[in-house]
Amino acid sequence: MIEESTPSMEQTALLTFVDRLMMRLKSKSLHRNILHTFASIVLALGTAAIIMLATGYDPLQAFSALFLGAILNFDQVLWRATPLLLAGLSVALAFKCGLFNIGAEGQLYMGSLAATAVGYMIALPIVVHQLACLVVGVGVGFLYALLPGVLRAYRGAHEVVTTMMLSYAAVFFTQWMVSQGPMHNPGDWRSISPIIFDSAQIPKILGSAFLNWGFIIAVLFVVVVDFFINKTVMGYEMRAVGSNEDAARTAGIDAKRNMAIALGLSGALAGLAGAVEVQGYYHRFYDQWSGGLGFDGITVAVLGRNNPWGVLGGAIFFGALKAGGLFMQTSAEVPSEMVQVIQGLVVLFVAAPRLIDWFSNHGVAYARWIKDRPLFGFLSLIALSYGVFGAFMGILVAGPYVSSNFSLLLLGFVTSIGGLVVAIFHFQRDERRTRATWMVALLWALMLVSGLSMAAASVVSVALTLAGVGFVISILLMRLQPKSDELKEAA
Amino acid sequence: MNILYGLLSPSAGTVKIKGEEVVLRSPEDAIDRGVGMVHQHFKLIQPLTVTENIMMGYESPGRGHNRYAVAVTLLVLVFSVSLFLLFLGSIPALIASVALVLVIIAAYKSYEIMNYIVEKLYPHTSRGGVRGFVARFLYSISMTFRYFIMNFVPLGIHEAAEKIKRIADENGLAIDPNARILDISVGLQQRVEIIKALYREAEILILDEPTSVLTPQEVDELFATLEKFKDSGKTIILITHKLREPMALCDRISVLRDGELVGTVNRVDTSPEELAQMMVGRPVVFRVQKGPATPGDVVLDVQDISAKDVRGLPAVKGVTFQVRAGEIFGLAGVEGNGQTELVEVLTGLLKSDHGNIYVKGRNVTGKGPRTMREAGIGHIPEDRHKRGLILPFTIEENLALGNHYRPPYSSKKAGIPGFLNLNTIQKNAEKLVHDFSIKVGRVTDTADTLSGGNQQKAVVARELSSEPIALVAAQPTRGLDVGATEYIHNVLISLRDSGVGVLLISAELDEIRNLSDRIGVIFGGRIVAIKDPETTTPQELGLLMAGQTGEVLQ
């Protein structure tokens, strides 16, 4: 056999690396994850649009303002993404070990406070000072999370409770430190610390007023965290403990030590997030400057499915939402709280894959059932559509009355839910579907009555139609119901 | 038995209770039909009292009203009346007070009222037309209200406690209804489980391995109780592997093996020997080819090990044996006789109460799993999903598990910041997959894509790749098909031939007899015999496994 020159070690390593990367990118699970995430975002935006319609805002204008705002202020997008990225990495890393680090906010505060302290109390030469502040921020964050980590690993104290409580403690502690404590800026009526030295500040880049080298550091840490999780022994052991603690223990892995360190490292990342923000933008510690970045980090980690690169995407997405949100408020007059609504909806819909799976499973059964009894099945399908349509109309019709007639809004809400219930009952061939259908028709009749009493034309017209249609459908359902199904209904 | 109790749905076949074919969808259905079950692992909630545990799921509202409810009501009444007098005129206050009293009376009687309404409505619900329609409507609303009220009415705990006391006295099962479960002994806890079944008026009582947690005296008491039940006309199904029990207690005995019914005999017509024969069956189908063993030095020396199980009960009671290089020492025994705990002690997952373990002369007593592995003990766990593999991990990651921290899988000699050598891990995985003929798509697929047999092969391959001195194989072919079983058997033989000492722990007597060079029998946490496979019969081993001999080896 002719021997070709064997490739060198470096060439082999590079080829393997590229090979693995290509395999990861081409894998089916990655495609499915991206599709599901995309679907979650679309569903979230869709629901937000409905809410906006119901409360009288123009969703198209709002979304275009959001989009435009993000594009025009792209440097702001990246700046806002920086702490989200690091906090997201923090939560994602803890989750790889099966732990929930809910207290990233507190670790963030402690890290930033420590970095501020080193920033203005000590004078050091240029690069050294910045690094020192960062290192101290990381270290304090590490220790602040190591405590609940040790408690969880060696005493079983659930980290959700301990990290959450310590988060509160951190917020109040730092507040005291800069209002009445030793770090208060002398003579200042605000609760802030003195400004950190220039040598401790992280410079801005590209002439932006917001974006600084902190973003580069954060992206660097995406690589670092990915490397740590997948290519180091400790990352392997942490993943093992998070996936199957019994098997990990049987294989000789010290689960307790790994858990404690995992939570500590998670806190270190959160502390870095805080330090970077203070050194890069705020340059001093403002009381409660964060406003929930630690908790947003949880959202980002969920959206990114605990994968470092997914977290990067999620952080940029949420950064865009935040940056665009301000623009949305000024130009489309939609309150920027809408951004938080969208954020919450995105997290809700990240569970969408399960919904989609549920739909497809039951949908096949439903379709078959309709085929078996075409007339009644078709009627049931109409009732289902009635339920879905009614669900939308309930919110849309009653929405404008949120301030004037709250009970109407409530009634509309209940009717909406009723419509959903009707749809679900018909979809699952539940025996209570006929009862549910005419109950919802009754609710629409009630809406009609209240609409008449308020002389609200829109409410009256919609309610009249829907009540009438509902009653007709109910009577038809009761008349045409096959005998075999009726026995079950009598229960 | 889980099917009979409604916990599982059968995929085929029928169940008939009292001649009537039934479909049991949940334990509630079973209880309605008079089936009660006492499980092997008690379904009791530790911090609650005996009465609360027995009532659970079968609560009835209290007919008398407890003191607290009455006190609270009086307080509310007094408070409200004073408020009425303060803020309203005297006539309105009087009217309001009377109305309040009426409401309170209605509330107290609400459950009875709702029951009455529901019962009155029910006959009309099956009528057609508008009347039936309205009746069904009102019926649903009333049922909803009744359900709501039922959950807020004070619990009839006193009535329940009285009923429990009555049942206890009638059946000679002394129990304190107000004791908390975590304060009473295991034997008493089992008594609570039995009373639970009687409280629900069970006529058919299923007991799953009831004596495994009882002292000999408690066993005698239990049997006396069961005899009394039998005399009062109840039906008892006793699940056990100890031959003494059905011979002492039962009228008819059925033997199950591998999920199939071997036969049903009358007690008077049979003997323990015949039962043992039915339990272990015919000689093995496949006879593995193996040469004679050439045992060398002792590689695993186990001296007087005792250990407790998760419940704190003694599971291993002074076990001593040796395994030599180049031999397979098979430990036969029905599951639940201490094998699990023994394996955990030998692999470092459980600390023994006393005793010593030596691997090739080195004392490894009380050390953790990593040290045991480094000392040369390999471990094939009995539950590959729980202990053997990390299913979300890829196959190559699983094949490196246990050795991942040392070279060549890791780049540094030791220490925390070790980097994984992914290349080596992949190459190693491919080699093992090839050597052991593990059917995989790619080594980067996750482990849950493997079939059961291939998963076990992966575990075996991984354990062998660290070249152990002694291998502890716990139920290595459980859940595997014939082909995979045969493969694993051949692997164990070749391992033995290459000088490894193999401790084979299995509940399959055929497997033990086929592979072992020496056979030990474990029963009740003790080694009751060590036999030579050439000179012992399956019946003899079966009897030993079922506790039918007085000897206990030191």
In a domain, B196, yes or no: no
Chain A interface test: which of B142, B143, B405, B424 (most A C-beta within 10 Å): B405
Query: Does the beta-carbon distance from B387 to A246 stay under 8 Å?
Result: yes
For residues B502 and B333, give the distance between their C-alpha atoms in angstroms, rounded to a whole number.
17
- Chain CA centroid to CA A412, Å: 28
Q: A237 in contact with B at a CB cutoff of 8 Å?
A: yes
User: Tokens in use for A442?
Assistant: 């009754």
From A231, A251, A254, residue closest to B420, measured CB to CB: A231
In sequence order, which ranges of A290-351 are alpha helices (DSSP H)? 293-303, 308-332, 337-349
From A13, A20, A250, residue closest to B381, measured CB to CB: A250
Q: Note the pLDDT of residue A487.
A: 43
CB A252 within 8 A of CB B387: no
CB B282 within 8 A of CB B295: no
In a domain, B34, yes or no: no
In a domain, B157, yes or no: no
Write out pLDDT tens, residues B433-447: 998 888 888 888 889
Residues B498 and B518 in one domain: yes
- Examine the pLDDT at B408 and tell me if it is beyond 80: no
Q: A25 in contact with B at a CB cutoff of 8 Å?
A: no
Residues B511 and B539 in one domain: yes
Cα–Cα nearest to A415, from A376, A379, A445 = A445
| Chain A residues with CB-CB distance to B348 below 8 A | 252
Class of residue B428 by CB neighbours under 10 A (exposed 0-12, middle 13-18, buried 19+): buried
Q: Note the pLDDT of residue A484.
A: 56
Output the average pLDDT for chain A: 87
In a domain, B345, yes or no: yes
- Examine the pLDDT at A400 and tell me if it is beyond 90: no
Average pLDDT over residues A414-421: 90
Residues B348 and B399 in one domain: no
Cα–Cα nearest to A112, from A77, A140, A132 = A140
List B257's β-bridge partners, or say none.
Answer: B260
User: Tokens in use for B93?
Assistant: 């206050």
Task: Specify whether the backbone of B281 is left (phi greater than 0), alpha (psi in -120 to 50) or beta.
Answer: left
Average pLDDT over residues B382-386: 87
Q: A249 in contact with B at a CB cutoff of 8 Å?
A: yes
For residues A248 and B410, give the distance between their C-alpha atoms in angstroms, rounded to a whole number.
17
| Chain A residues with CB-CB distance to B381 below 8 A | 250
Tell me the C-alpha to C-alpha distance, in Å, between residue B548 and each of A355, B28, B76, B392, B543. Answer: 57, 39, 68, 45, 5
Q: Note the pLDDT of residue B459.
A: 94
Tokens 């599901």 sit on residue: A36
Q: Which of A335-349, A468-482, B112-126, B284-298 has the lowest mean pLDDT?
A: B284-298
From A244, A435, A490, residue closest to B390, measured CB to CB: A244
DSSP A187-211: T-SSSBPPPPPGGGSPPB-TT-SS-
Chain A interface test: which of B401, B449, B463 (most A C-beta within 10 Å): B401
Query: Does the beta-carbon distance from B410 to A12 stay under 8 Å?
Result: no
Residues B390 and B505 in one domain: no
Distance from the Cα of A136 to chain B's closest Cα (Å) equals 21
In a domain, B398, yes or no: yes
Helix, strand, or coil (residue B315): strand
Q: Which residue has the higher pLDDT, A395 or A443?
A: A443
**Domain containing B459: what range?**
386-467
The set of residues, in sequence order, having a beta carbon less than 8 Å from that of A298 and lying 6+ positions away, is A87, A88, A91, A102, A104
Query: Does the beta-carbon distance from A234 to B370 stay under 8 Å?
Result: no
Helix, strand, or coil (residue B33): coil
Tell me the C-alpha to C-alpha distance, in Å, between residue B541 and each of A385, B259, B450, B485. Answer: 69, 21, 36, 22
Q: Note the pLDDT of residue A6.
A: 57
Interface of A with B in 455-484 (CB under 8 A): 478
| Chain A residues with CB-CB distance to B419 below 8 A | 231-233
Query: Does the beta-carbon distance from B387 to A243 stay under 8 Å?
Result: no
Q: Which residue has the higher pLDDT, A135 or B550?
A: A135
Chain B interface test: which of A28, A250, A438, A487 (most B C-beta within 10 Å): A250
In a domain, B117, yes or no: no
Residues B328 and B459 in one domain: no
- Examine the pLDDT at B304 and tell me if it is beyond 70: yes
Residues B485 and B463 in one domain: no
Write out pLDDT tens, residues B311-360: 788 989 999 999 999 999 999 987 778 888 999 999 999 999 989 999 99
From B125, B404, B423, residue closest to A16, measured CB to CB: B423
Query: Does the beta-carbon distance from A252 to B388 stay under 8 Å?
Result: no
Q: Note the pLDDT of residue B503.
A: 95
Query: Does the beta-carbon distance from A247 to B125 stay under 8 Å?
Result: no
Residues B427 and B474 in one domain: no
Q: Note the pLDDT of residue A108.
A: 96
For residues A96 and A240, give the distance between their C-alpha atoms in angstroms, rounded to a whole number.
9
CATH number at residue B478: 3.40.50.300
Interface of A with B in 427-456 (CB under 8 A): 435
Q: Note the pLDDT of residue A272.
A: 96
From B348, B349, B417, residue closest to A232, measured CB to CB: B417
Domain boundary among B467, B498, B518: B467
Write out pLDDT tens, residues B191-200: 899 999 999 9
Residues B476 and B550 in one domain: yes
Q: Which residues of A42-60 are buried (b: 16+ CB within 10 A; e: fewer)?
A: ebbbebbbebbebeebebe
In chain B, the number of structural domains is 2
Query: Does the beta-carbon distance from B369 to A243 stay under 8 Å?
Result: no
DSSP B348-383: TSS--SEEEEEETTEE-TT--HHHHHHHTEEEE-S-
Residues B359 and B496 in one domain: yes
Query: Does the beta-carbon distance from A234 to B417 stay under 8 Å?
Result: yes
- Examine the pLDDT at B127 and tell me if it is beyond 80: no
Domain boundary among B467, B499, B517: B467
Domain boundary among B467, B483, B510: B467
pLDDT band for position B188 (cuts 50, 70, 90): confident
In this complex, how many residue pairs, one in chain A and one in chain B, have their CB atoms less than 8 Å apart?
83
Interface of B with A in 405-434 (CB under 8 A): 405, 410, 416-420, 422-423, 426
Class of residue A210 by CB neighbours under 10 A (exposed 0-12, middle 13-18, buried 19+): middle
Write out pLDDT tens, residues A337-365: 888 888 788 878 876 667 766 776 777 78
| Chain B residues with CB-CB distance to A239 below 8 A | 393
Interface of B with A in 369-398 (CB under 8 A): 369-373, 379, 381, 386-393, 397
For residues B22 and B19, give the distance between their C-alpha atoms in angstroms, rounded to a whole number.
9
CB A411 within 8 A of CB A401: no
Write out pLDDT tens, residues B196-245: 999 998 899 999 888 766 767 778 888 988 999 999 899 999 998 777 78
Residues B439 and B293 in one domain: no
Q: Which residue has the higher pLDDT, A484 or B482?
A: B482
| Amino acid in the structure at residue B1 | M
From B349, B379, B416, residue closest to A234, measured CB to CB: B416
Query: Does the beta-carbon distance from B393 to A239 stay under 8 Å?
Result: yes
User: Tokens in use for A161?
Assistant: 């409770």
For residues B36 and B206, give the distance between their C-alpha atoms in angstroms, rounded to a whole number.
6
Write out pLDDT tens, residues B34-74: 999 998 778 899 899 999 999 988 887 766 666 777 888 88
| Chain B residues with CB-CB distance to A241 below 8 A | none
pLDDT band for position A13 (cuts 50, 70, 90): low
Cα–Cα nearest to A437, from A461, A463, A471, A465 = A471
Q: Note the pLDDT of residue A483.
A: 62
Tokens 């005129």 sit on residue: B89
ipTM greater than 0.85, yes or no? no
In a domain, B485, yes or no: yes
The set of residues, in sequence order, having a beta carbon less than 8 Å from that of A87 and lying 6+ positions away, is A104, A108, A269, A270, A273, A293, A294, A296, A297, A298, A300
Residues B332 and B480 in one domain: yes
Residues B473 and B370 in one domain: yes
Tokens 């732990």 sit on residue: A99
Output the average pLDDT for chain B: 85
In a domain, B500, yes or no: yes
